[in-house]
Amino acid sequence: MSFVIGRGSDAETVQAGHVGQYRALDGSEGADLYVDLDGPHAMLVVGKRGYGKSFTMGVLAEELARTSGVAPVVVDPMGAFSTLADGGDDETVPADVVETPTITADVLDPRSWCSLLGLSPESGAGGLVWEAAQRTHSLEAMAESLEASDAPEADVRAARNHIRLARSWDVFDPDGLDGAALSGTEITVLDVSGLDSAPMNAVCRGIGEALYRARVDERIDRLPWLLIDEAHTFFDGVAQQALRTILTRGRAPGVSLVLATQRPSAVSETAISQSDVLISHRLTSEADLEALSAAQPTYMNESLDDRLPTDPGEVVVIDDATETIHAAQVRLRKTPHGGGSPSARDVVDLE
Ligand SMILES: Nc1ncnc2c1ncn2[C@@H]1O[C@H](COP(=O)(O)OP(=O)(O)OP(=O)(O)O)[C@@H](O)[C@H]1O
């Protein structure tokens, strides 16, 4: 029996992930720390650059990949998680890396199409894109429907150019990833690192909606866990809508979200207030500390900044389910860590 974050003390550690050890006040390591992977959760992993957010997310990903009944999916904007598939010294993690993830065009509603292409729905071209998205289900069909329009040629030309831009991203495909394709037992890593912010957001939105809808419509049995690194990138664009839906309504259909960001002040307030587990690495920026302090739970007696850790891999965990706070050291990765900063000394060693 151990303490399991999100579940409570004296809990069984089945369907729980081993993420590290408690950290005593003198810095020594204590008992093992587990996180509940059985029920749905919204987790937020925050911390200044280089203090271990991606590493911690990788540890969670490794644990999810080896947990039954869940369908873990990572949206990987830095290309740091494909190493999950490389295996470790003595253990392998079942992982499937999708290097060019695609989604279907109809996951975006007409308004989102306009915002994705930077068009005002009130403009001539925006209105045409809106109508095309409303009437059709693929990018091809959207392009064709523009040609049949009797709108002014200048508007049609502008709309055509924007649709052409969307086609050049190569992220829309009528056979794009759906809930079924994403709900395997292995962890699916979607490498979006080669994409600009707009198509990256479109993919994230499509994946979030596909997983959520598949559970609401009872088309998949396993409980999806969507892990998103650099989450602030997605609260700036069209992905935001899907992430908000999961944060506010994901619990009932059993969809979990793990967001990692170095800028908690740049993810929405919803992301902070709806998270039931907050894992905080070192943070120093005034704005970020304020964003977290504003959502600081009433059971937290002292200020959060007084408790924040100082070294990479050290965390403070605020568990809303059990209303407890824990100081811990995140365990080492079993698969290679794909993030981290390059060092000039490593280059010299190679020469
Ligand atoms: N739990 C840990 N145990 C040991 N070392 C760690 C741990 N977590 C992080 N580190 C070390 O810190 C380095 C930086 O970690 P990581 O790449 O996860 O930072 P980050 O906060 O995600 O940074 P960025 O914002 O640049 O992505 C790692 O390469 C690793 O050397």
Does the pLDDT of residue 351 top 90, yes or no? no
- Most confident stretch, 194-198, 269-273, 283-287: 194-198
Q: Give domain status of residue 351, yes or no.
A: no
Q: What is the pLDDT of residue 347?
A: 62
Q: Give domain status of residue 47, yes or no.
A: yes
Does the pLDDT of residue 250 top 70, yes or no? yes
Closest CA to 17 of 39, 34, 42: 34
What mean pLDDT value characterizes the chain? 89
Give the end of a domain, one of 144, 168, 192: 168
Same domain, 163 and 26: no
Q: Give domain status of residue 50, yes or no.
A: yes
DSSP, collapsed to helix, strand or coil, labels residue 269 as helix
Residue 90 belongs to domain with CATH number: 3.40.50.300
Q: What is the pLDDT of residue 286?
A: 82
Q: Give domain status of residue 350, yes or no.
A: no
338 lines ligand 1 (CB under 6 A): no
337 lines ligand 1 (CB under 6 A): yes
**Regarding beta strands 277-280 and 42-46, do their DSSP bridges make them parallel or antiparallel, or are they unpaired?**
parallel
Q: Give domain status of residue 296, yes or no.
A: yes
Q: Are 98 and 105 in contact (CB under 8 A)?
A: no
Mean pLDDT calculated for residue range 210-218:
94
Q: Which domain holds residue 309?
A: 2-103+176-345
Element counts in the chain: helices (H) and strands (E) = 12, 13
Same domain, 191 and 111: no
Same domain, 229 and 211: yes
Same domain, 154 and 303: no
Closest CA to 288 of 264, 269, 270, 317: 264
Same domain, 199 and 109: no
Rounded Cα–Cα distance for residues 184 and 179 (Å): 9
Which percentage of the chain shows pLDDT scores above 70? 90
Q: What is the pLDDT of residue 301?
A: 61
DSSP lists the bridge partners of residue 70 as 223
50 lines ligand 1 (CB under 6 A): yes
Does the pLDDT of residue 345 top 80, yes or no? no
Q: What is the pLDDT of residue 279?
A: 94
Same domain, 262 and 212: yes
Q: Give domain status of residue 265, yes or no.
A: yes
pLDDT band per the 50, 70, 90 thresholds, residue 126 = very high
Same domain, 45 and 183: yes
Which value does ipTM take for this structure?
A: 0.96
Tell how far the Cα of 50 is from the centroid of ligand 1, in angstroms: 5
Q: Give domain status of residue 93, yes or no.
A: yes
Q: What is the pLDDT of residue 38?
A: 94
Same domain, 152 and 271: no
In sequence order, what are the residues at sequence separation of 6 or more whose Cβ sits closer than 8 angstroms to the Cβ of residue 27? none
51 lines ligand 1 (CB under 6 A): yes
Determine the atom of ligand 1 nearest the C-alpha atom of 329: 1
Same domain, 158 and 189: no
Q: Give domain status of residue 235, yes or no.
A: yes
Which percentage of the chain shows pLDDT scores above 90? 66
Tell how far the Cα of 230 is from the centroid of ligand 1, in angstroms: 14
Tell how far the Cα of 112 is from the centroid of ligand 1, in angstroms: 35
Q: What is the pLDDT of residue 297?
A: 67
Number of domains within the chain:
2
Name the token pair of 233. 């990138």
Q: Are 70 and 225 in contact (CB under 8 A)?
A: yes
Q: What is the pLDDT of residue 343?
A: 61
Q: What is the pLDDT of residue 280?
A: 92
Give the end of a domain, one of 168, 198, 213: 168
In sequence order, what are the residues at sequence separation of 6 or more whose Cβ sits closer than 8 angstroms to the Cβ of residue 169? 195, 196, 198, 199, 202
Q: Are 21 and 29 in contact (CB under 8 A)?
A: yes
Same domain, 164 and 182: no
Q: What is the pLDDT of residue 288?
A: 81
Q: How far apart are the first and last CA of the chain?
A: 52
Mean pLDDT calculated for residue range 157-186:
94
Same domain, 196 and 245: yes
Mean pLDDT calculated for residue range 165-190:
94
Q: How many CB atoms lie within 10 A of CB 203?
A: 27
DSSP strands (E only) in 178-245:
187-191, 223-228
pLDDT tens digit sequence for 48-83: 999 999 999 999 999 999 899 999 999 999 999 999
Q: What is the pLDDT of residue 220?
A: 95
Same domain, 60 and 208: yes
- Range with lowest mean pLDDT among 132-141, 189-198, 290-299: 290-299
Atom 6 of ligand 1, nearest CA residue: 313
